[in-house]
Structure 1
Amino acid sequence: MTETAVPAVPTPTRTLPVVAVVGRPNVGKSTLVNRILGRREAVVQDVPGVTRDRVSYDADWNGRSFVLVDTGGWAPDAKGLAQQIAEQAEMAIAMADAVLLVVDGTVGTLDSDQAVVRVLRKSKKPVVLAVNKVDDQRTEAEASSMWNLGLGEPYPVSALHGRGSGDLLDAILDTLPPAPPIDYEAERGPRRIAIVGKPNVGKSSLLNKLAKQQRVVVDNVAGTTVDPVDELVEVDGQTYTFIDTAGIRRRVKEASGHEYYASLRTQGAIERAEVCVAVLDASQPLTEQDVRIMTSVEETGRALVIAYNKWDLTDEERRKYLSREVEQEVAPFAWASHVNISAMTGRHVDRLGPALQEALASWETRISTGKLNAFLGRIVAAHPHPVRSGKQPRILFGTQAQTSPPTFVLFTSGQLEPGYLRFVERRLREEFGFVGTPVHVEVRAREKRGKR
């Protein structure tokens, strides 16, 4: 089940930057996190040495959204201190676009503060220094002594009272990557649907049936349509721009003459669309071209609805063979909605509307960072990555980098096996739906630090 309904206009793709909050125990990290969020989310209690517990939240300031990761504090004991500091810092750096280092303004800098600063400085990641517990002007002068950490201007704040938090947030935003420009042109107009498939599978007939008029030429001669044709069509009360495309007869490099340019224009139509309706001829055996077209849609990152056309021409025996072909050939696209239709008679063409709505909603679904990491925590606990060569990579943190299509980035302690990645994707679909949309899962493994 998806979290969002289909909006009236396309949602721009956004990649949310990540800010990791690091520091010793009891410097007020969780209180500061709550202050930044503007709500009480983080538990205000620092337990030394809880290195595996990282909690992530969606934050917003001045119209900019970002992910805030609250990390456990470093234990102040001397035993194994360097290792603990390196482990925490590496994880924070691996996840973050910027690091917020929190120190206690009432006690000054300690050795553990200096040690983590050295690690952060080597990372070349932007670091913002927050001097917490500066509750009045009298203690503000003491905060200026933090210049000696060499991280630039220290920002005195009071997480408890909110003092100085606005200036701190402004400084954090200054360190983040610039927000991508919004393509307002792309936001206007109806949703774009491309009808794709081999020649003579009934793409133009389907468009005519949806438009309730003879909009495009239909002929049994394969390849009648060469140029993509746009048509505004209302389906279930929703207006879409349908793009009827020339049939993709064979690989672009094998095509010649007008077929070559038709194939290029068809690929352009796929890239211009938000959802592709792949039309297959149910009365004929599925072919390599059918699979290639659907693969192209998936690789381009577009939502997909599969329409088995000419259903009126199939008998019981053909449907039995078709079922077997679907199991074997179309299994990689089991996530797409399947609709059995007849463009000629109009049979079940009305089912395309709900399938398109569902695919668009899934394509634009955003899972909150907190909900995603709670889900990841559950599946990792129940099904940890297998041990290979004495090592067991762990998923440290995950975030949804973008929508359209949903793309997730997993920050890990090592490379994940392809089989385990497929397992995570399958469980993502079971948990959150994503019917009709590709789901991309990327891994960013923490770089190993060289031995000194």
Structure 2
Amino acid sequence: MKPTVALVGRPNVGKSTLFNRLTRSRDALVADQPGLTRDRHYGHGRVGAKPYLVVDTGGFEPIVDEGILFEMAKQTLQAVDEADVVVFLVDGRTGVTPQDKVIANRLRQSGRPVHLVVNKAEGLQSAMAGAEFHELALGEPVAISAAHGDGVRELMEIVLEGFPDKTEEESLRHPKFAVIGRPNVGKSTLVNAILGEDRVIAFDHPGTTRDSIYIDFEREGHTYTIIDTAGVRRRGKVNEAIEKFSVIKTMKAIEDANVAVLVLDAQLDISEQDATIAGFALEAGRALVVAVNKWDNLESEQKETVKREIARKLAFLDFAKFHFISAKEGRGIADLFKSIDEAYRAAMAKLATPKLTRVLKVAVERQAPPRSGAIRPKMRYAHQGGMNPPIIVVHGNALDAVPDSYTRYLEHTFRKVFKLQGTPLRVQYKTGDNPFDTEKDSRGGKSGKK
């Protein structure tokens, strides 16, 4: 499972800037104004072979006891409790403040590994930038500049030093699938229906499951792990900090699974939150099966309306199979499980290089990639670059110019030929020689670029 790194510190020390640097995104709002981040942001990062989840928390004001700052402090403490390691950010320009001392004391009590990081250290010698922060007694300070990227990679190598590299063997032991979705859509009821017994508490109250529960079981002689996750509520409906951070556990469960089973409530509108949760799984590259629950209570006309809504709002899940079930009555569970098996096999499929290259050449002959100015991208061969999800690496020239629409065409072609139902598939490009240079053909001569 990916380690979770929580970024903690008082307001305006640069946590969101560091978050954006680590995730290579602009997902967190950044401005020179304290307290801009009032809720958590979460994203994916990687240093070498070590992937991780990173959580950007709101500014930590541990001495307040009411209002929005108090709520932010509760969220931060919950993030620390759920994280594997904490990065405590301080401001190298401002120096040690009374708030920093209080936060340091709280973090020592948490029992989590803490790395003290001195931000805004550009132009300063590392030893000088961190000198006065030794009084916080949290080990050797690490000086960085989140805005400029100075020292950030070295910092994360230190932070992740004790965590193992991700290996394919870990995910090949046996299938793991996570049951995900909004609260009160019937996730725990579905888990019980699959297991055939009441292994998970399930009753009609949103948010019953606050932690992810891993259950090993056997079905037809094969071993599986099912993960029942906490429901992810819409931000405006969440009051307790412990539920605000249930999304972290859901993301970790998705990362640890091979297949995600997205549960929808047929009696409720397909919401933005449903699409967001599906997006978590898609971003993680996980195979996906959709279970539309509570189907038995709908009239025929209502069923058609629900299907149209799903087709419109979840069109980006066209690779996944949809099942209309009743978890409470146990209807549709057998077919759902067949799709889980199928999605797992597709996610872990091994694709031979010669066949991949043949499929690529046929696809290009049928529809060549469009020109970019005077240059047409040239695709030479393909090989598999990874599993869960399947990654196909295409080699050639001028591939930086391939548009997204053509990439989707290749993804559709590979999925259809190799029967990869239920899993996202990613096509990556690796460009060789400069397309403006002449290049040797297979006979040793030279051929100009067409």
Partner of 1:314: 298
TM-score (norm 1): 0.56
With over 3 angstroms needed to count, the CA separation of the structure-2 counterparts of 1:441 and 1:256, relative to structure 1, is farther
Q: Structure 1 counterpart of 2:361, which letter?
A: G
With over 3 angstroms needed to count, the CA separation of the structure-2 counterparts of 1:288 and 1:365, relative to structure 1, is same
> 2:320–2:421: 8 Å Cα contact kept in structure 1?
yes
* Residue 197 (1) aligns with residue 181 (2): yes
Q: CA deviation at 1:387?
A: 2.6
Alpha-carbon separation, structure 1, partners of 2:196 and 2:364: 51
With over 3 angstroms needed to count, the CA separation of the structure-2 counterparts of 1:254 and 1:238, relative to structure 1, is same
Q: CA deviation at 1:201?
A: 0.4
- Of the three residues 393, 410, 413, the one matched with 1:427 is 413
Alpha-carbon separation, structure 1, partners of 2:285 and 2:405: 21
Partner of 1:263: 247
* Residue 416 (1) aligns with residue 439 (2): no
The DSSP-based 3-state class of the residue aligned with 2:185 is: coil
Q: CA deviation at 1:323?
A: 1.6
Q: Structure 2 counterpart of 1:281, which letter?
A: D
With over 3 angstroms needed to count, the CA separation of the structure-2 counterparts of 1:268 and 1:255, relative to structure 1, is farther
With over 3 angstroms needed to count, the CA separation of the structure-2 counterparts of 1:348 and 1:449, relative to structure 1, is closer
Matches within 5 A, 1:280-429: 280-414=264-398, 415-429=401-415
Q: Which is greater in Rg?
A: 1
1:182-225 Cα shifts (integer Å, max 9, x gaps): 85982685421111000000000011112222222212121111
- Of the three residues 248, 259, 265, the one matched with 2:232 is 248
1:76-124 Cα shifts (integer Å, max 9, x gaps): xxxxxxxxxxxxxxxxxxxxxxxxxxxxxxxxxxxxxxxxxxxxxxxxx
Q: CA deviation at 1:256?
A: 5.2
Q: Structure 1 counterpart of 2:377, which letter?
A: P
Q: CA deviation at 1:312?
A: 1.0
Q: Structure 2 counterpart of 1:306, which letter?
A: V
Q: CA deviation at 1:352?
A: 2.2
Partner of 1:209: 193
Q: Structure 2 counterpart of 1:312, which letter?
A: D
Alpha-carbon separation, structure 2, partners of 1:420 and 1:299: 20
With over 3 angstroms needed to count, the CA separation of the structure-2 counterparts of 1:227 and 1:411, relative to structure 1, is same
Q: CA deviation at 1:266?
A: 1.2
Alpha-carbon separation, structure 2, partners of 1:307 and 1:347: 11
With over 3 angstroms needed to count, the CA separation of the structure-2 counterparts of 1:258 and 1:284, relative to structure 1, is same
Partner of 2:51: none
Alpha-carbon separation, structure 1, partners of 2:282 and 2:220: 26
Alpha-carbon separation, structure 1, partners of 2:337 and 2:309: 26
Moved more, 194-203 or 409-418: 409-418
1:10-35 Cα shifts (integer Å, max 9, x gaps): xxxxxxxxxxxxxxxxxxxxxxxxxx
Partner of 1:436: 422
Matches within 5 A, 1:75-154: none
Q: Structure 1 counterpart of 2:347, which letter?
A: W
Q: CA deviation at 1:338?
A: 1.4
1:297-329 Cα shifts (integer Å, max 9, x gaps): 111111111111111122112111112112211
Q: CA deviation at 1:418?
A: 1.0
Q: CA deviation at 1:238?
A: 2.8
Count the aligned residue pairs. Answer: 272
Alpha-carbon separation, structure 1, partners of 2:311 and 2:231: 24
Q: Structure 1 counterpart of 2:384, which letter?
A: Q
Partner of 2:9: none
With over 3 angstroms needed to count, the CA separation of the structure-2 counterparts of 1:390 and 1:332, relative to structure 1, is same
Partner of 2:64: none
With over 3 angstroms needed to count, the CA separation of the structure-2 counterparts of 1:251 and 1:296, relative to structure 1, is farther
Partner of 2:218: 234
The DSSP-based 3-state class of the residue aligned with 1:384 is: coil
> 1:253–1:260: 8 Å Cα contact kept in structure 2?
no
Q: CA deviation at 1:240?
A: 1.4
Alpha-carbon separation, structure 1, partners of 2:359 and 2:278: 30
> 2:397–2:435: 8 Å Cα contact kept in structure 1?
no
1:383-418 Cα shifts (integer Å, max 9, x gaps): 111233232112122111111210011123212011
Q: CA deviation at 1:379?
A: 1.2
Larger RCO of the pair (alpha carbons < 8 Å, separation 6+)? 1
* Identity within the alignment, %: 34
With over 3 angstroms needed to count, the CA separation of the structure-2 counterparts of 1:381 and 1:266, relative to structure 1, is same
With over 3 angstroms needed to count, the CA separation of the structure-2 counterparts of 1:440 and 1:252, relative to structure 1, is farther
With over 3 angstroms needed to count, the CA separation of the structure-2 counterparts of 1:271 and 1:246, relative to structure 1, is same
With over 3 angstroms needed to count, the CA separation of the structure-2 counterparts of 1:188 and 1:323, relative to structure 1, is closer
Moved more, 281-290 or 440-449: 440-449
> 1:235–1:353: 8 Å Cα contact kept in structure 2?
no
Partner of 1:9: none
Q: CA deviation at 1:335?
A: 0.8
> 2:379–2:397: 8 Å Cα contact kept in structure 1?
yes
1:16-60 Cα shifts (integer Å, max 9, x gaps): xxxxxxxxxxxxxxxxxxxxxxxxxxxxxxxxxxxxxxxxxxxxx
Gap runs ≥5 in structure 2: 1-163, 438-450
> 1:210–1:233: 8 Å Cα contact kept in structure 2?
no
Partner of 2:52: none
CA RMSD of superposed structures (Å)? 2.5
With over 3 angstroms needed to count, the CA separation of the structure-2 counterparts of 1:371 and 1:193, relative to structure 1, is same
With over 3 angstroms needed to count, the CA separation of the structure-2 counterparts of 1:373 and 1:338, relative to structure 1, is same
